[in-house]
Structure 1
């Protein structure tokens, strides 16, 4: 009991937005328009990271244990059954492993262990589980294709999956599942689907450090800060069957993909966005500067988002289906959250269901609560989470 109290003091977690499948972990099947401080996760110790999918959430806790909750109708929760869960539950099938990386897709999930093994479960009707068939799985099953090779990351999109393999000198991306928009990157032509992992073209000689997938989009970030995208085109751009480098004059530190847009965070803390402008997801063009792609050839419009952050800079980003979020940082803390875009389910956390065309601050309590804290924001298709961790021994109230 003392341990639970200590963990609660060291960490706070909030959720808001769409909640009718139990994805908010509030114990209620309803949308929440304002941030809800959660108690349901405190019994599981320190939460290291989250991944939010279509309507389910995966969490990694201390020691590499995995918790899931929300929609489970396709088996994506990994509890051995195809039912929803209002409360977080340990994935017992993974208790013998130390899980280091997870990804929640629309209706499927991926898990990577410290030994480099990858497990998947959930909807497999497009081959997105990588098991060589089109069956769904309600418990995590190891993707045997990779054998003893070391997997570093997994990224689950709408109906496809990506895997980043790091094995000695080999650094390669694989794709499997639906490829109808080119999101697998495995052929110069569009592929209906594949149920076995295949090498993504054009990335073999690059040092890829991060992969992303959402909707029918795929992306990879290289060590030198270059972005490669494939799949459904953003804005008026055509679909890309193989990765293409995004021509820009800046180096990127982080990428977040939505269904129709992407957030690009530079190493200097500047935020850019590309793609469509549905629900104001790209911000208010009157308050931002619209520039063209440096190459002059791309039809992907890019907008710089410069909210009034005073002495702050953007330190982390997240994208849902059609909403966006960012975390600002200062010398003493990095706890302020801003959101904008589609708000129908309250996923902006602003107390209403209105869309917002420019970033607005989310209230998570008094300003003092942000001091000596590190915050991260996570977005599912229509909901959001914030994980705030406090510097142990500092005053938090």
Structure 2
């Protein structure tokens, strides 16, 4: 049974969509709860779904046609890893936590954009307004709110509290051009020398478990 992260603040439970795995072999989804941001995956927003109608079988074709193998829920967004090694996200994206390139709310699944990588996705973890993805090779990526440095990248970098944007935009900005601002997952270089095997996110913090058995954390406790 997948774990629901971000359980440290009971206030979040009022807006959290509950998602679980119905059948490990078939990879079907059960989802119920608040849909203010469409985080339950049933399409549309502003409606609550009861456990009786929890089967996500009338949502976006990306979810229906892809076997789901990992799931995580934030306060108002959801992320899944499919058998096709894709990370799909939906719900509230106002902090860039969906990792799809913008800060919009999406009621249908969006592909989280990791960029080129040569390893399969091992898992995904959602905090209140941030998301962390890690690969089989131990590399990790994060996106979303970083006000408390919960994304795990170097806080000494200028404007570290801002969401990461596309490198091309930075080049355009330096050259005086105007380009698109895209909120994308950020590769966690500070821990690249260690193999990440598990991640858990709280409301304002992130914990990383390494292959060595050591645990590292960042954010506000």
Cα distance in 2, alignment partners of residues 96 and 106 from structure 1: 26
In structure 2, relative to structure 1, the CA distance for the partners of 1:145 and 1:209 (3 Å cut) is closer
Cα distance in 1, alignment partners of residues 40 and 96 from structure 2: 18
Aligned match for 1:119, one of 74, 77, 88:
88
TM-score (normalizing by structure 1): 0.44
Q: Secondary structure at the match of 2:193?
A: coil
Q: Secondary structure at the match of 1:202?
A: helix
Offset of residue 148 of structure 1: 6.6
Q: Which has the higher strand share?
A: 1
Instruction: Please show how residues 19-98 of structure 1 align to structure 2 within 5 Å.
Output: 48-49=1-2, 51=4, 54=12, 55-62=16-23, 63-82=26-45, 83-87=47-51, 88-91=54-57, 92-93=59-60, 94-98=63-67
Equivalent residues of 1:155, 1:163 under 8 A apart = yes
Q: Which has the larger radius of gyration?
A: 1
Q: 1:386 aligns to what?
A: none
User: Deviation digits for residues 55-80 of structure 1, max 9, x if unmatched?
Assistant: 32111121111111101101111111
TM-score (normalizing by structure 2): 0.77
Tell me which stretches of 4 or more aligned residues in structure 1 moved more than 4 Å: none
Aligned match for 1:140, one of 109, 112, 124:
109
Offset of residue 163 of structure 1: 0.6
Offset of residue 147 of structure 1: 5.5
Offset of residue 85 of structure 1: 0.8
Offset of residue 175 of structure 1: 0.7
In structure 2, relative to structure 1, the CA distance for the partners of 1:202 and 1:147 (3 Å cut) is closer
Q: Secondary structure at the match of 1:95?
A: helix
In structure 2, relative to structure 1, the CA distance for the partners of 1:52 and 1:225 (3 Å cut) is closer
Equivalent residues of 2:5, 2:73 under 8 A apart = yes
Offset of residue 224 of structure 1: 2.0
Query: How many residues end up aligned between the 2 structures?
Result: 183
Cα distance in 1, alignment partners of residues 131 and 141 from structure 2: 8
Gaps of 5+ in 2: 7-11, 165-182
